[in-house]
Amino acid sequence: MNSVFGFLHSSLGKKYIMAITGAVLFAFVVAHMLGNLQIFLGPEMINGYAAFLKSKPELLWLARIGLLLMAVLHIVSAIQLSRMNKAARPLAYGNARIVAASYASRTMLMSGLIIFTFVIYHLLHFTVALPAANLLPAGTDFRALHDTGGRHDVYRMMILGYSNVWVSGFYILGMALLCLHLSHGLSSMFQSVGLKQRPYDKLIDRFAQSAAWIIFIGNCSIPIAVLLGYGK
């Protein structure tokens, strides 16, 4: 038992925690994007999908708590690892080292913390549906939107939500940072668990880059389509 705790507190143990929690969070991001893209299939599809997700509150809360736990473990391990790395390397690197590391890899902690702020805003915007978060004319309340079937009108909420250019701009910025984070994180996930070895290392890097771009394009297509008039 002591050795398990010892491992979890070691630098390698924390890398494993980051890899596993990162993989679960990535799976959520992919599933969430596929769910959201149903907006292009019309209100019936996306409202039905949202109603289905909310039809089993126990499962929904279990998933929410699991996701929150993954996010907390991922962030806490990242901060601890960064402290451990700094303690092991008291002198700052010279310029030569900085050139060798990619921009994404050097900004992982920062992009991760900004993504966290983005998620808090996103939850206030759509899940809590706080009127002050939508930056629309006073009285616009997403919680009051219902379709003809009496379901929460998630379709209209998204169209209204992204019709504000500042809100859409903030989402696009959030997606850019998420994808920068994923472009490095996905490949270091394989490295942490010892799977990034020749001859597959280049393939893993390419997978990470492509997945990050797909998430960026897929997610940004929604606010951009709305700004261009979709759903009006």
CA-CA distance, 191 to 197, in Å (whole number)? 8
Tokens of 19: 């890899």
- Which amino acid belongs to residue 51? A
Smallest distance from ligand HEM to CB 219, Å: 4
Closer residue to ligand HEM (CB): 60 or 79: 60
DSSP structure class, residue 152: B
Closer residue to ligand HEM (CB): 111 or 196: 111
Closer residue to ligand HEM (CB): 8 or 65: 65
Smallest distance from ligand HEM to CB 182, Å: 10
Per DSSP, the three-state class of 107 is: coil
Smallest distance from ligand HEM to CB 226, Å: 9
| Contact (CB, 8 A) for 125 and 80 | no
DSSP structure class, residue 38: G
Closer residue to ligand HEM (CB): 15 or 112: 112
Smallest distance from ligand HEM to CB 118, Å: 7
| Contact (CB, 8 A) for 47 and 152 | yes
Smallest distance from ligand HEM to CB 91, Å: 35
Q: Across-strand partners of 152?
A: 146
CA-CA distance, 11 to 22, in Å (whole number)? 16
Per DSSP, the three-state class of 176 is: helix
If 0-12 CB within 10 Å is exposed, 13-18 middle and 19+ buried, where does residue 68 land? exposed
Closer residue to ligand HEM (CB): 59 or 98: 59
- Residue 106 has a CB neighbour count (10 Å cut-off) of 14
Closer residue to ligand HEM (CB): 23 or 119: 119
Smallest distance from ligand HEM to CB 127, Å: 4
What is the binding site for ligand HEM (CB under 6 A)?
Answer: 29, 32, 36, 50, 64, 119, 122-123, 126-127, 154, 158, 171, 178, 219, 222-223
- Residue 85 has a CB neighbour count (10 Å cut-off) of 10
